[in-house]
Amino acid sequence: MQTAFATAGNAIASAAVRRAYSQPIPRAPESPALGSTRTFAKGAEIFAEGDRAAFLYKVASGAVRTSKLLSDGRRQIDAFHLPGDIFGIEAGDEHRFSAEALGETTVIAYRRWRLENLAANDSVATRQVVTATMRALERAQSHILLLGRKNAMERIAAFLLDLAGRISENGQVDLPMSRIDIADYLGLTIETVSRSLTQLERQGTIEVPAHRRSIVLRDTGALQRLAD
Amino acid sequence: MQTAFATAGNAIASAAVRRAYSQPIPRAPESPALGSTRTFAKGAEIFAEGDRAAFLYKVASGAVRTSKLLSDGRRQIDAFHLPGDIFGIEAGDEHRFSAEALGETTVIAYRRWRLENLAANDSVATRQVVTATMRALERAQSHILLLGRKNAMERIAAFLLDLAGRISENGQVDLPMSRIDIADYLGLTIETVSRSLTQLERQGTIEVPAHRRSIVLRDTGALQRLAD
DNA sequence: CGTGTTATTGACTTCATTCAAATTAGGTGG
DNA sequence: CCACCTAATTTGAATGAAGTCAATAACACG
């Protein structure tokens, strides 16, 4: 078996678990029409696979992972969502992923638009949802190439560059996620992720400070070449 | 929008014609407003990665693969498109994939909608494009799970069931694609695909007639269990 | 400072790939 | 209809990249 993220079982069960253990702290919405702000603790579930998709979300601060589980516990993380990103868009009326906060995270929940209204309505919000959907599709498609045809080192390099492009501050990337999350995103194991990072560090391509939760990109050119 | 003469001088058509082995055979569109019909020979290129995305397409008959290449020639097939499927939707103005006919294939080309119009406009066509985009996203996301976390046998089983759900006639699936295409879709090699099929046949789960281009699903339950 | 969690490292195994060869299908021209 | 040819597929044997199992190390936090 691969990296089993040991959350108990199926969608129904985890929906129940969510009610028990997650701590959504609803606050007064900044403006009713614009959605309501909610804060989640590290690891808290924002929604579960199979939950009714009544809202879509925009990350205000922190970070979110959306993932799917196989029956035996293998997990695949579909995407990481950073501030400004919209997630939870669905065509049907159920969430096909679960979403969890990677750290203390604040999101804005917007009441969901039915698909029909999406096409019918012209508004900034509508446009944003269509754009977010297209972006999600593009990301998913390039992730398919990564998972289908790239080796471990290429995956790590591509991941670091992608993240750097989204949240780097002068070449330093502060990872909002654990090695397990990285592994489950890249279709690898935590050990392989660790070994690849060590190898990149030995080559002088990156630098990993003591606390291990940030990475300095020393040679983005080399990463680019690796990533393809 | 689309006129009978629009096919003659556009960027896409000439880009396609430039390539050696594509043979688009423009015919009179069934209805000018609804797009123009084009037929492609087996292996012909409908559009290439980087081509200007002036049209989107619906498969009328036959089948199409959309794929990406890495610099060293590794290929990943993003999706197979069967009659009724829409492909070639882009947010930007370039195709990020190439598209090739899997056999003698007829498609209908629709002049592309700009993203802004998509959100602004309410029409059957708009709705179809939004729906097709959502469907593509859902497919891509479940393919990510397959590529990231499923083993060879699980991938083959899932592939056969998916295809059966789209084109089976009483349990028989006529494969429009070669083993290489299947391998490049599932992130495997042609040898592994062949071995997996052989094993499924030995188990009595499937049956592969002599010409090897169709497969009879004898035990979909077993496939379902394998596919997860 | 302990304690629990997360990450790294090492040794060994395994599943899928690679390399190589054999077999089969399907088209072509006699 | 058959012999021949080419491309596609299958099969076998050996290799290798990433996974598994196990132990250690490094943090983070109370």
pLDDT tens, A57-81?
999 999 999 999 999 999 999 999 9
Lowest mean pLDDT, pick from A8-17, A217-226, B157-166: A8-17
- B47: CB partners within 8 A, 6+ apart: B12, B15, B16, B53, B88, B95, B98, B99
Instruction: Name the band, by pLDDT with cuts 50, 70 and 90, for residue B33.
Output: low
Cα–Cα distance, A87 to A80 (Å, whole number): 9
The predicted model gives A95-118 an average pLDDT of 88
Q: Helix or strand or coil: residue A155?
A: helix
CB atoms within 10 A of CB A83: 16
B195 sits within 7 Å of strand C by its CB: yes
Scan residues 135-164 of A and list those with Cβ closer than 8 Å to B: 135-138, 140-141, 143-145, 147-150
Nearest protein residue to nucleotide D11 (CA to C1' distance) is B195
Taking the alpha carbons of A147, A148, A153, A158 in that order, is the dihedral positive or negative?
Answer: negative
Contacts of A126 in chain B (CB under 8 A): 119
Judging by beta carbons within 10 Å of its beta carbon (0-12, 13-18, 19+), is residue B169 exposed, middle or buried? Answer: exposed
With an 8 Å Cβ cutoff, is A1 touching chain B? no
Q: How many CB contacts within 8 angstroms connect chain A with chain B? A: 112
> So what's the pLDDT on residue A18?
39
**Cα dihedral A10/A11/A15/A17 (nearest 10):** 20
The predicted model gives A142-157 an average pLDDT of 98
Q: Do A149 and B97 touch (CB under 8 A)?
A: no
Scan residues 167-206 of A and list those with Cβ closer than 8 Å to B: 184-187
Please name which of B167, B160, B26 lies closest in space to residue B83, comparing C-alpha atoms. Answer: B167
Please name which of B27, B43, B82, B76 lies closest in space to residue B60, comparing C-alpha atoms. Answer: B82
A197 sits within 7 Å of strand C by its CB: yes
Q: Compute the half-sphere exposure of residue A85: CA atoms within 13 Å on the CB side of its CA.
A: 20
Report pLDDT digits (tens) over B200-226: 999 999 999 999 999 999 999 999 999
Closest approach of chain A CAs to the CA of B26, in angstroms? 30
Q: Which residues pair with A87 in a beta bridge?
A: A57
Judging by beta carbons within 10 Å of its beta carbon (0-12, 13-18, 19+), is residue B83 exposed, middle or buried? Answer: middle
pTM of the model: 0.87
Cα–Cα distance, B226 to B37 (Å, whole number): 40
DSSP summary character for residue A46 = E
Q: Is the pLDDT of residue A27 over 50?
A: no
CB atoms within 10 A of CB A219: 15
Left, alpha or beta for B178 (phi > 0: left; psi -120 to 50: alpha)?
beta
Closest approach of chain B CAs to the CA of A155, in angstroms? 11
> So what's the pLDDT on residue B25?
42
Lowest mean pLDDT, pick from A10-19, A156-165, B127-136, B138-147: A10-19
Q: Is the pLDDT of residue A34 over 60?
A: yes
List strand residue ranges (DSSP E) for chain A, in order.
25-26, 36-40, 45-47, 55-61, 64-69, 75-81, 86-87, 98-101, 105-111, 172-174, 206-207, 214-217
B118 sits within 7 Å of strand C by its CB: no
Q: Do A135 and B74 touch (CB under 8 A)?
A: no
Q: Do A115 and B131 touch (CB under 8 A)?
A: yes
**How do A55-61 and A86-87 pair as beta strands?**
antiparallel
Q: Is the pLDDT of residue B17 over 70?
A: no
Q: Which residue has the higher pLDDT, A108 or B168?
A: A108
Q: Are A38 and A26 in contact (CB under 8 A)?
A: yes
A191 sits within 7 Å of strand C by its CB: yes
B202 sits within 7 Å of strand C by its CB: no
DSSP letter string, A8-45 = -SSHHHHHHHHHHH---EE---SBGGGBEEEEE-TT-E
Q: List the nucleotides on chain D closer than 7 A to a protein CB.
A: 8-13, 17-22, 26-28
Please name which of B79, B1, B2, B87 lies closest in space to residue B46, comparing C-alpha atoms. Answer: B87
CB atoms within 10 A of CB B109: 26
Cα–Cα distance, B32 to B13 (Å, whole number): 17
Q: For chain A, percent helix, then strand, then coil, each to nearest 5?
A: 40, 25, 35
List strand residue ranges (DSSP E) for A62-177, in order.
64-69, 75-81, 86-87, 98-101, 105-111, 172-174
Cβ contacts, strand D, under 7 angstroms:
A 1-3, 151-153, 187-189, 191-192, 210-213; B 178-180, 190-191, 193-195, 197-198, 208, 212-213
Please name which of A8, A6, A5 lies closest in space to residue A17, comparing C-alpha atoms. Answer: A8
Rounded, the Å distance between the CA of A211 and C1' of D28 is 9
Q: Do B140 and A144 touch (CB under 8 A)?
A: yes
Q: Are B16 and B24 in contact (CB under 8 A)?
A: yes
Rounded, the Å distance between the CA of B27 and C1' of D18 is 52
With an 8 Å Cβ cutoff, is B118 touching chain A? yes
Cα–Cα distance, B121 to B136 (Å, whole number): 21
Q: Is the pLDDT of residue B184 over 50?
A: yes
A178 sits within 7 Å of strand C by its CB: yes
The predicted model gives B47-66 an average pLDDT of 97
Q: Do B70 and A140 touch (CB under 8 A)?
A: no
B199 sits within 7 Å of strand C by its CB: no
> So what's the pLDDT on residue A31?
46
